[in-house]
Structure 1
Amino acid sequence: MLRRSLLAAGGLMAGSILLPARPRAEEPVDVLLVLAVDVSRSVDEDEAKLQREGYRTAITDPRVVEAVQGGMIGAIGVTYMEWAGAEYQRQVLPWMRLAGSQDADRWASALSEAPRASLSWTSISGALTFGTRLLDEAPFEAARRVIDVSGDGVNNSGMPAEQARDAAVAKAIVINGLPIMNDRPSFGRRPTLPLDQYFAETVIGGPGAFIVAADDFTSFGAAIRRKLIREIAGLSGPLIERA
């Protein structure tokens, strides 16, 4: 249920800088952000290019950079992962600390050069589980930890998405969603709800979790820019926005 997905976990976990079993955090950041991007077969080559270009353009947008620099520390930690079925999750870009336009430009350039794969099925649960692990292994210290998951279909591989969501929320992780309201038939079962409602009830979770829905892949860039500004700045707003 949506009410259960939005319940906050009890208290933040102890920072990694205090735990001898984990590596010491290099530098503090305002938020740790996992960008988890769907590369299942329902996303064709042109759409995949639109997705990556959307992230590259959004990260370097002056409004996003301003949101980054407007935090208490003025920096964020970001990693970019791609996912498909339960057997495929890949960290495409390692954790990077972004504190200004030059950092953003370097990040965007690295993403443009990274190879891309495409596999069958859609495991949102696999993406959330892998994203949780990336956050646990992050080399930076932050009070907020967020998984930003985008996709154009429902979970049809691996454990139920709700199970992975609840496990992440229990570790004080917020999950936000960017459903792409693509009218192309996807692999596996179709949602009984519109995709934005499916994400609201099944995928997102944690205090302040929200969705920015893109009508299609051409509007993806505007959606991710709006979403990043809200995530980075910690702004409040409606549960579901549309780009």
Structure 2
Amino acid sequence: MAPPFVRRALLAAPALLAAPARAQSQTQLDVLLVLAMDASGSIAEEEFRLQREGYAEAITHPAVLAAIASGRRGAIGLAALEWGTPGGSQVVVDWMRVGGIASAQDFAEALLGAPRTPQSWNAIGDAIHHASHMLREGPFTGERMVMDISGDAGDMRSHRPAPIARDIVVRRGMVVNALAIAPGGLTRSGENLAAIYERDVIGGPGAFVLQADSRMDLTRSLRAKLIREIS
């Protein structure tokens, strides 16, 4: 007959094994999504406000909520960061579980209420690098890990250039999508922004670029983008 301490260990083993499984089931979500928003010096205050409001409206839209509900777990992990300054991207809304209108509204309110972070230039590569750490080290796990880069210009002065950062995170199983915000699709220097993002930013299975012709068009584009990413 086994000693008492062995019998106790054997009796406790199923509970010990079940505990991590229960914890995993609580934190496993359909998608982990980092919204990486351009807050660089090229974004005027009114444009910045429209951008924040566009994200908030898109996240709480019934079509986006329906896409979330259609997943196996009916919930996603959502976080937001602002980027611009080389090495200076900052989290503005940390990870939240979004699985319905109430949690979506909580995220939207947190986003609208967060102060603008001081940013300059357009260090997209550094934003990709930061977002990858958020996806790997956050409180949730997900069947897919996605980062959503929105901006009005290409990569500038990153410590790690965007194509290199993109290739690294794709090898880690992440997806990088992008939203090009440019009137007529062109940057101030006349370059096609969607083409730049296609070449330098996006990567991973099913990666894509959408275009918003203006900040006013942002909500529609974001809504379409979120539905595609979540579904």
| TM-score relative to the length of structure 2 | 0.85
State which drifts further: 93-102 or 151-160: 151-160
Q: Could you tell me how far apart the structure 1 residues matched to 2:161 and 2:83 are?
A: 16
Q: Could you tell me how far apart the structure 2 residues matched to 1:85 and 1:197 are?
A: 23
One-letter amino acid matched to 1:221:
T
Q: Is the 8 A contact 1:24 1:139 kept in 2?
A: no
Q: How many residue pairs were aligned?
A: 209
Residue in 1 aligned with 2:62? 62
Q: Secondary structure at the match of 1:143?
A: strand
How far apart are residue 101 of structure 1 and its match?
0.5
Q: Is the 8 A contact 1:191 1:198 kept in 2?
A: no
Runs of 4+ aligned residues of structure 1 deviating over 2 Å after TM superposition are: 23-26, 190-193
Cα 1:207–1:25 shift into 2, 3 Å: same
How far apart are residue 138 of structure 1 and its match?
1.6
Q: Does 1:109 align with 2:109?
A: yes
Q: Could you tell me how far apart the structure 1 residues matched to 2:70 and 2:222 are?
A: 19
Residue in 1 aligned with 2:123? 123
Q: Is the 8 A contact 2:90 2:117 kept in 1?
A: no
Q: Could you tell me how far apart the structure 2 residues matched to 1:191 and 1:124 are?
A: 18
Q: Secondary structure at the match of 1:218?
A: coil
Residue in 2 aligned with 1:37? 37
Q: Could you tell me how far apart the structure 2 residues matched to 1:39 and 1:70 are?
A: 32
One-letter amino acid matched to 1:105:
Q
Q: Could you tell me how far apart the structure 2 residues matched to 1:47 and 1:196 are?
A: 19
Residue in 2 aligned with 1:177? 178
How far apart are residue 163 of structure 1 and its match?
0.4
How far apart are residue 193 of structure 1 and its match?
4.0
Q: Secondary structure at the match of 1:74?
A: coil
Match for residue 195 of structure 1 among 190, 193, 196: 193
Q: Could you tell me how far apart the structure 1 residues matched to 2:115 and 2:217 are?
A: 23
Sequence identity of aligned pairs in percent? Answer: 42
Q: Secondary structure at the match of 1:196?
A: helix
Q: Which runs of 5+ in 1 are unaligned?
A: 1-19, 234-243
Structure 1 residues 146-225: aligned runs within 5 Å: 146-158=146-158, 159-182=160-183, 193-225=191-223
Q: Is the 8 A contact 1:29 1:73 kept in 2?
A: yes
Q: Could you tell me how far apart the structure 2 residues matched to 1:198 and 1:29 are?
A: 32
How far apart are residue 24 of structure 1 and its match?
6.7
Provide, for residues 2-29 of structure 1, a one-character-per-residue CA deviation record: whole Å limited to 9, x for no partner. xxxxxxxxxxxxxxxxxx9xx9785211
Cα 1:136–1:191 shift into 2, 3 Å: farther
CA RMSD across the alignment: 2.1
Structure (1/2) with the larger helix percentage: 2
